[in-house]
Structure 1
Amino acid sequence: MRKILLPILFLAACSAESQDEIARSAARSTTSKIVVEQFPGVPVQPALDCIINNATATQIYALAADSVTGPTESTVQIVREIVSKPETLTCLAAEGLPALIR
């Protein structure tokens, strides 16, 4: 419990812009593990950009919280929900697929 409270208290002391940046960074850390495990062969960096940029604030904060405890089945479900959004799929087609053929 203490491990979870410390990042939350740290975020509370930051500006809204800093909070968003920190949360996105933590969410990227968690999401990268899911992408590597669940989507083998997909270029990680472009996929992360597409997933994080199309996640809602609630999804970002849920993924960021999981960076403390590690990915769970809930984390996988959140990433799959984001990946299934039309705008994420469009991004992956535009950014992820070209990275595969480079």
Structure 2
Amino acid sequence: MIRAALILSLVAGCVPMSGEELTRSAARSVVTRSIATRYPDLPIEPVLDCVIDNATQSELIGLASDSVTGPTASTSATIAAIASRPATLACLTQSQAFALPT
């Protein structure tokens, strides 16, 4: 995790970020790649927001550490667990992430 934080802080440049912001940013990166690869037809932003907003701090840290190596089977399992929660499903429904085009 320290290695991931160091790499991300170098990439972030001069923009100061809190530890939580850094963790969320790294987690968003790997979740974005995972969603785009596994579900290319889904709108990424609403799904991404719902997953990140409903993840626990330990899940965010785990996802952030995956951002260094890229998505793994563990990444997919974590995303699936978060996505299956009632609050995440409600968020996805409200965001119309799965709405069919008219």
Structure with higher helix content: 1
Q: 63-72 or 89-98, which moves further after superposition?
A: 89-98
Which residue of 2 is the match for residue 57 of structure 1? 57
**Matched residue pairs, number?**
93
The within-5 A match list for 1:1-102 is 5-8=2-5, 18-95=18-95, 96-97=97-98, 101=101
TM-score (norm 2): 0.80
Unmatched tracts of structure 1, length 5 or more: 12-16
- Counterparts of 1:20 and 1:5, CA distance in 2: 14
TM superposition shift of 1:35:
1.1
Tell me how far apart the structure 1 counterparts of residues 89 and 68 of structure 2 sit (CA, whole Å).
Answer: 28
TM-score (ref. length: structure 1): 0.80
CA distance in 1, matches of 2:74, 2:3: 22
Q: RMSD across aligned C-alpha pairs, in angstroms?
A: 2.2
Q: Distance in 1 between matches of 2:72 and 2:4?
A: 18
Cα deviations by residue, 1:44-67 (Å, 9 ceiling, x for unpaired): 001000000000000000000000
CA distance in 2, matches of 1:68, 1:84: 25
